[in-house]
Chains A and B, each alone.
Chain A
Amino acid sequence: MLLVLKHIQKRYGGVAALRDASLEVQAGEVHLLVGENGAGKSTLMKIVAGLLRADGGDFLWQGKHVQFRDPAEAASRGIAMVHQEPLLAPHLSVAENIFLGREPRGPLGWVNRREMTRRAASLIEQHRFPLQAEARVEKLSPATKQMVQICRAIQRDAKLLIFDEATASFSDAETQEVFRIVRALRDSNVGVIYITHRLEELRAIGDRVTVLRDGANVHSGPLGELSTDELIRHMVGRELGSTYVRTPLLPGDELLGVEHLTREPALHDISFSLRAGEIVGLAGLMGAGRTELCRALFGVDSISSGNIRIAGRLPCLRSPEDAVRAGIALIPEDRQRHGLTTALPVSHNLTLAGLRGVCRFGFLNHPAENRLAADYTARLRIGAHSSRQLAGQLSGGNQQKVAIAKWLVRQARVFLFDEPTCGIDVAAKAEVFRLMDELARGGAAILMVSSEMTELLQVADRILVMREGRISGELPGLASPERTTQEQIMRYAALHGRGAAAGENNE
């Protein structure tokens, strides 16, 4: 056994990323690692590659207990990770990148460039990589850049290669090329761990599969014995986190209408509408284009074609300034960076978007601002000593409430929530849901992006599913008597349109 992980645990602050993860990889096999967003796949691989240290459990490498101090130590022991975003020196050649830090030396310690290029060329030749040793890396496509990484790993005699979502952005031809190389590596007795979200890829490449869910193993075994339906069932099946129940409303007029929205290369032909009083969920795997859609609707990114209608009008959305004026609000995923200003008081954060409301001729009305801030702090039960406390001193949940309240002050009507419960505790989650419900009752339209399918099923009236920049399906939510399952969402999120339909028919 090349690699044995047993009962690995890892906590970030109070959150357990890995509770009890185990994995065994042999030399000469391709082992697939699958699971939902946040299941702990990347954390587990970072531990193997020396980027993180486990808090508990056994880590055996070639039969010996190990604990790597840093990625360099893992690399020296034969473990290499192929990153989604290749970490290469763009201005250097392919050969220089392959030998980076291990350049063949001449007699006086100079780099022997000719020898380096020759050895790189023979390595490329031997594995039939579509590369040229002297090409500059910045001119290569993402797929070929990844091959340079693979070359580097092979040059260092890697015994285990980890591919983390390696082919997420590749075309079919490029993916096939990577697969060919992965198979060749396997045949030369290298162990490969392959993380992927694309379920149809699995059978083309994998020998065995391990499924992680909520930081623990749910299944491990040969891929051939597992049907796709079983696999999906293993991946989802997450337990309901809280007992929040929402009663849907009768939706009113359309507030947001999106027609054929396209932004190359992230979003393709997206059409949907949001009506007043509606909460619509937006599901999808990492990289499906959900955040990109929010950014486009909010004017952060320009769109290549298509229409965005707000309450029957077609405003020009070239910046968030335009979007805010049109009544759109974005509660961004990265709260600390985009959602609030941690170094300013809660009150200043609350009035930032709607500052005109407490101004006269450009002058601030401090008493009015303070009253407003105190009012919202109390109404949303924001846990702050006073509205003068700095926003950065609040807990994640309270920061989120501030980020939302900013838009209540502004009286926005279309709300885009991007991962609104990311990094906040269960009690705060329920309060955020309550707040969203209140907004919907007040006539707002809400689009809620979430990677937690259980949340979407608890809160959303309808659920849109995105996959590779398209809406791949729409499922009924609370408003419908038939209950959507997590398996259904996962099928639309992870399988091609055809696969999704076939899965439906099987039931």
Chain B
Amino acid sequence: MIQRLLPFFALIALFVILAVVSPNFLTATNLASVVRQTTVINILALGMTMVIITGGIDLSVGSNLALAGLLGSMAMARYGIPAGLVAGLITGALCGLANGAMITGLRISPFIVTLGAMGIYRGLALIVSKGLPVSDIPPAYSYLAEGTLARVPFALWILAACAVVVHVILEHTRLGRYAFSIGSNPDAAYYAGVPVRFHTTAVYTIAGLLAGLAGMIETSRLMTGQPTSGQGYELTAIAAVVIGGGSLRGGEGTVLGTLMGALIMGLLANGSDLLGTNPYWQQVIIGGVIILAVALDELRKRRTSA
């Protein structure tokens, strides 16, 4: 049990160390910037948690985010903010649905399908935009990423709402139960008459919807629709899930763990910025932390199973 809480302790330790070492860490401006930087990744990671629980993976969320953000901002430039938001969310969900349909329909591994989809969605974003960013977004739209509600960044409210919804889906719905069951033993789920294809597709669709939402927040943060945004986000999201105790073998993962995993990585990046660490070293440190986290988790599992 103590080791299961390891991400939590690591997060607190990191927080305390940074507070002591850097005088600029515990300021409202800095903490708000950490939140803004990590919200997008966090929302992607929530969808990724569900996908990884089913034993799958989604490499296309970064591209999906870009395509959704781009189509959303184009719609927004023409028809206003609500239409843009809806367009972005629908784009994200459709991309996820396409992933799920290909995985279950063609019986190809999620890794391959989403690797291909990663290229397709990114390419579509570049084709539609001719490689140029969309910049005529209504100024009021910056509220989504930069505004505050009750002195808390608005993006944090969105993240909290998403976290609660995903947690409820995983722990309190049939979809969540089936997701765990499919990830733990797909054969047993199939032999128990679980509609494996439908629920797998549903999970990828939700992950796509969340990627669309993340794309709209990213658009608000940048105030442009960038066809090149979100590159490499899928790997950061996967890392967050894994640091938070999710298993790429499926059947394991929690919302709280993923949030902590994403925050740990956010704080590491922020801390190295504040301490003036060479940014090249940041990547080395974060990479090392990912491997260390998974190694400790494996150790725990081996001990409990022995």
Contacts and interface: CB of A to CB of B under 8 A. Distances in A.
Given A325-B193, A352-B194, A364 B172 contact: yes
B192 interface: yes
A323 B194 CA distance: 11
Interface in A338-391: 338-344, 348, 352-353, 355-356, 359, 362-364, 366
A191 interface: no
Contacts of B172: 363-364, 366
A491 interface: no
A494 to B, nearest CB: 31
B195 A321 contact: yes
Given A364-B174, A364-B177, 11 more contacts: A298-B191, A320-B190, A321-B193, A323-B193, A339-B191, A343-B184, A343-B185, A343-B251, A353-B193, A362-B174, A364-B176
A493 interface: no
Contacts of B194: 321, 352-353
A114 interface: no
Given A338-B187, A341-B181, A343-B185, A352 B174 contact: no
A344 B194 CA distance: 15
Given A339-B188, A340-B188, A363-B172, A348 B193 contact: no
A107 B177 CA distance: 64
A362 B188 contact: no
Q: Which residue, of B181, B184, B188, B189, has the highest number of chain A Cβ atoms within 10 A?
A: B188
Contacts of A410: 193
Contacts, number: 73
B175 interface: yes
A356 B174 contact: yes
A408 B189 CA distance: 16
Contacts of B195: 321
Q: Which residue, of A324, A339, A343, A356, has the highest number of chain B Cβ atoms within 10 A?
A: A343
Contacts of B190: 319-320
A341 B189 contact: yes
B174 A344 contact: no
B191 A330 contact: yes
Q: Which residue, of B181, B191, B194, has the highest number of chain A Cβ atoms within 10 A?
A: B191
B173 interface: yes
A356 B175 CA distance: 11
16 contacts: A300-B191, A320-B191, A324-B193, A330-B191, A341-B189, A342-B185, A344-B180, A348-B177, A348-B181, A352-B177, A356-B174, A362-B174, A363-B172, A363-B173, A406-B192, A410-B193
B159 to A, nearest CB: 23
Interface residues of A, number: 30
A220 to B, nearest CB: 42
A427 B175 CA distance: 38
Interface of A: 298, 300, 319-321, 323-325, 330, 332, 337-344, 348, 352-353, 355-356, 359, 362-364, 366, 406, 410
A337 B184 contact: no
Contacts of B175: 362
Nearest to A406: B192
A465 B93 CA distance: 53
Contact of A344 (B173, B181, B187, B191): B181
Contacts of B177: 348, 352, 355, 364
Interface residues of B, number: 21
A362 to B, nearest CB: 5
B188 A338 contact: yes
B173 A337 contact: no
A124 B193 CA distance: 51
B184 A344 contact: yes
Given A362-B173, A362-B174, A324 B188 contact: no
Nearest to A330: B191
Contacts of A332: 191
Contacts of A337: 185, 187-188
A353 B184 contact: no
Contacts of A298: 191
Interface in B232-286: 251
B118 to A, nearest CB: 30
Contact of B174 (A324, A353, A355, A406): A355
B105 to A, nearest CB: 14
B191 A338 contact: yes
Contacts of A366: 172
Interface string B162-205: 00000000001111111011001101111111110000000000
Contacts of B176: 364
Given A348-B181, A362-B175, A366-B172, A320 B193 contact: yes
B187 A352 contact: no
A352 B189 contact: yes
B4 to A, nearest CB: 15
Contacts of B184: 341-344
A362 B174 CA distance: 5
A348 B191 contact: no
Contacts of A325: 193
Nearest to B180: A344
A300 B193 CA distance: 10
B176 to A, nearest CB: 8
The 7 closest A-B pairs by CB, nearest first: A324-B193, A341-B185, A353-B192, A352-B192, A338-B191, A341-B184, A343-B184
Nearest to B252: A343
Nearest to B250: A343
Q: Which residue, of A332, A341, A355, A406, has the highest number of chain B Cβ atoms within 10 A?
A: A341
A54 to B, nearest CB: 28
Contacts of A338: 187-188, 191
Contact of A341 (B173, B174, B188, B193): B188
Contacts of B187: 337-338
A353 B196 CA distance: 12
A298 B192 CA distance: 10
Contacts of B173: 359, 362-364
A330 B192 CA distance: 8
A460 B188 CA distance: 27
A362 B190 CA distance: 19
Q: Which residue, of A298, A325, A338, A366, has the highest number of chain B Cβ atoms within 10 A?
A: A338
A362 B188 CA distance: 21
Nearest to A356: B174
Nearest to A328: B193
Interface in B59-86: none
Nearest to A392: B305
Q: Which residue, of A300, A340, A344, A406, has the highest number of chain B Cβ atoms within 10 A?
A: A344
A410 B194 CA distance: 12
A332 B191 CA distance: 9
A418 B110 CA distance: 32
Contacts of A363: 172-174
A362 B194 CA distance: 14
A321 B190 CA distance: 7
A190 B176 CA distance: 62
A324 B192 contact: yes
A325 B176 CA distance: 21
